[in-house]
Chain A
Amino acid sequence: MKKYASFFRIRFIHGLQYRTAAVSGMITQFIWGIMEILLFRAFYQASPESFPMTFQALSNYVWLQQAFLALYLIWFWESQLFDSITNGDVAYELCRPVRLYNMWFVRGMAVRLSKAVLRCIPVLLFAWLLPAPYGLTLPADFRTWFFTLLSMTLAFLLVIAFGMIVYMSVFYTISSQGIKLLASSVSEFLGGAVIPLPFLPDGIREIVNVLPFASAQNVPFRIFGGDLTGREMYISLLLQCFWFITFLLIGRAMEQRALKRVVIQGG
């Protein structure tokens, strides 16, 4: 365990050193969040009755999304990992007494968390100071906090496990271009990164809700805003567990198979 902790530490510390990237990322997220809320406000004013969630829940959703972008955005790929497979530098990582999957999983966690901790606090603080219903409204009861955190953790693990499948696929395809593009766009839309999933039309929404990407940011952010409660919430949490384990198993199977027939590129 210590080796993974140590690996986590070095990547985490390393991630913290990019201050300029953090500041510019934060500014983008402030502006993006404000724009998105203004846009939804226009829709809301036009016809509040056809709005699937309360405006307050929506604001919460948008601000949490901006604050924790680094945790849940699928397309935060690490090009170093793709490159190491394509050019064969992965050879060295295979010469270590650790499992490649675990090592890269931990790395993914460290990279995302280090980005997120720098950025989330100012965004959350700013959003909290905004007047209702445009800002962040904190839930009153302890249960909501608890389930939000639980669900955030599950969603975080799920996103990394999905990323691992994409990384492992490069052992088979060599080029990462296609899969990156496909995975990014599909997961963005189906994950509720473009618009929250409750806004999707009936019929489509029910299907999208059981797909794996709906188990990422969609769940915790809606629990926090009070939009997802009771029985529906428990089902969503179970689905999160299910998809996380499925992705984990697929990724690990792909790794095992890849390493058996792997060709380390280059001499």
Chain B
Amino acid sequence: MSDNGKFARQLDSGLIDELRAIAGDRAIVSHPSELKVYECDGWTIEKSAPDLLVMPRTTEETSAILAALWRRNIAFVPRGAGTGLSGGALPVGAPVMICTSRMNRIVAIDLASRRVEVESGVVNLHVTNAVKDAGFFYAPDPSSQQACTIGGNIAENSGGPHTLKYGVTANHVLGVTLVLPNGQVVELGGPCEEGCGYDLVGAVVGAEGTVGIVTRATLRIMREPQAHRTMLATFADADQATRAVSAIIAAGIVPGAIEMMDRLIIRAVEDAFHVGLPADAGAVLIIELDGLASALDEHAAAVMSIARGSGASEVRLARDEAERAALWKARKRAFGAVGRLAPNYATQDGVVPRTRLPDILRVITAVGIKYGLAIGNVFHAGDGNIHPIILYDEREPAQVRAAIEAGREILTACVAMGGSLTGEHGIGVEKQGEMPLLFSPDDLIAMTELRRVFDPRERSNPNKVIPRPGACVEVSAPHRQVPI
């Protein structure tokens, strides 16, 4: 029996009528066949559909919905576009899902102060689209930026290739409107560089939806750099490529992005999209510099020289905006390309100190061999933020188990090298079991104390992030129990 079963009885018709009165008929989805769409996010290994989906249009509706649930002590799971990769939007003991996608208005643009106020269901890329003609951009750029929402980015503290130079979501969110799990609406931070009192915005960003629902946010936008130089460097193997990354950074150059793709990914992308990557390469780096037009050629020459000195067989400079766009398209569509290689894949997310990249890539290779799984690598090399993509077939229970085990082994190695369990995907349900590798019981208690400041009954996205020894919820992956 799914854990939701025991809550389903609480969803009496009285509640559904009340929610319908608050948000309207079209805001409610209750038929099991329609709810199946929401049974997982981008972490597809585990599935569990909600009993009810509600899609509010405003802060006021969200507040009234959460208050109605709070009175009945019913837990909920917030969801943006469902592109998250750690099961953050997977219902685990939360019968009601609240989807923010209909709150999708850009509320105000203040170019003079470089602020944009948006509702949380606004798609990431739409923020940049709204200001790019004026010469501005919103810096965090996850690969899913054409679909993922600002609310989801705030929950997961999302990154992306250009966070190497510009920082992650937490560095660009200045204020939020937060609906607490009891329905109370609070304004945290605002349009200023610094808030007043404790930095609660900093605590809400990255809290993985466990402190309530963000319905609005004030974002900082940045001036678009004058120019870019985007290079593709080809290497015989991943080891050489990662050494080139360290050499570039050691030279005091801070690129906008340094991305790596290994052999498996290069071939997958080439087969799928024919973008002109060197199909026989062991690894490629996409290196992007940005800044003043008059100085970039000099920096680009330095980077190309360092790359060649590190063993690059070829370094190609994108000649125009079309070539640059093609390289980024190849990078951002890598995940889609991998989808052609196997019925399923799990995108892992770990971090090591940049200088340990060659070591962790050797571990990943060994883990792939040990479990008999193909693993590709496409990742943010400049940050030491790896993304092994583990291919498997969900129809084979043994392969699902192997994929989970392989992921766990790679993460354990990351932590042993002084790294972290996640650079940008979050803990969700996926990595709860590994949290004690990184944090002591006291650390986890302090984190729980913080969460309960916002949500004393743990009704918002329960059973995520913090593991509870000895307590497990079974989800639909074969023989997989989530250690809540």
A and B interact physically: no
Please report A residues at the B interface, Cβ cutoff 8 Å.
none
Please report B residues at the A interface, Cβ cutoff 8 Å.
none
